[in-house]
Amino acid sequence: MRDRRPSLISSPPERLKALRVATDARVALGRTGASPPTRAVQTFLLDHAQARQAVWRPLDIEKMERALRASGADVVHVASRAQDRADYLRRPDLGRALSDEGRLALDGQAKGADVALVIADGLSATAVEMNAVPVATALLNSLASNGLTVAPITLATQARVALADDVGAVLGAKVAVILIGERPGLSAADSLGAYVTFRPETGLPDSRRNCISNIRDGGVPPVEAAGKIMTLISAMCLQETSGVTLVEFEKPLTALSD
């Protein structure tokens, strides 16, 4: 990924050069008098605007559904109990629960799949549109090659992480995976998060989930993230737990036990 950060120090120390390579943070930007240079300020304002836009811009549902169906996946669209974006931002609790219509849509699907995969807008539709399909495609291929069944992909809007617990419980899945847009920052507005839970149930605490964050160009590449998710699923089905009690390790996948 091209580094857009202005480097206005003519000869920054070697340690600062190395730090710029290792982080997207604003390092060695220089100054004009007591103030940051104009270019650095403009870049900051652009990043701030992109972060705000990522939070408020709605997810392109039709585009996502077309891309997922092109990969051979069945898709079900649901929403949380949040009525709109403002409601979603003010009431995180509503984003964690399925709407009645969403629950009804899932009730009509086959139950008992090994994995329920949810793709949700979260706090960055930009992150989802850029990264979710590559992660999902790689993950679905790995699941299929290992004989694991997957419920239709649940495409969720106005959703928080815990919505996957509701989805997984309704579908009777053994493992729930949610790919969700992370809160944008001033270094990245396109960061996707993956949360994986064994035996999902409504109302589970955060300590029952395992997370892979910063999935994006410049962070964890989507295909690599899919591999990490598979590692988590493997560990969960062997240990029959998830979250803080899970011991993570590399092991070939086997079919989930009953």
Render each residue's pLDDT in the chain as its tens digit; 258 residues: 556 555 555 556 677 777 777 777 777 777 778 888 888 888 888 888 888 877 888 999 999 999 999 988 999 999 999 999 999 999 999 999 999 999 999 998 999 999 999 999 999 999 999 999 999 999 999 999 989 999 999 999 999 999 999 999 999 999 999 999 999 887 788 999 999 999 999 999 999 999 999 999 889 999 999 999 999 999 999 999 999 999 876 554 444 444
Phi, psi of 109 (to 5 degrees): -95, 160
What single letter denotes the amino acid at residue 201? E
What single letter denotes the amino acid at residue 205? P
The full set of domains in the chain, from first to last, is 61-245 (3.40.50.11240)
pTM value? 0.85
DSSP notation for 214-242? EESTTSB-HHHHHHHHHHHHHHHHHHT--
| pLDDT at residue number 252 | 47
- Residue 72 three-state SS: coil
Contact 215, 135 (CB under 8 A): yes
| pLDDT at residue number 3 | 60
- Residue tagged 């993230």 (tokens): 225
Contact 158, 186 (CB under 8 A): no
161 is annotated as contributing to ligand binding: yes
State the Cα–Cα distance between residues 199 and 209, nearest whole angstrom. 10
237 is annotated as contributing to ligand binding: no
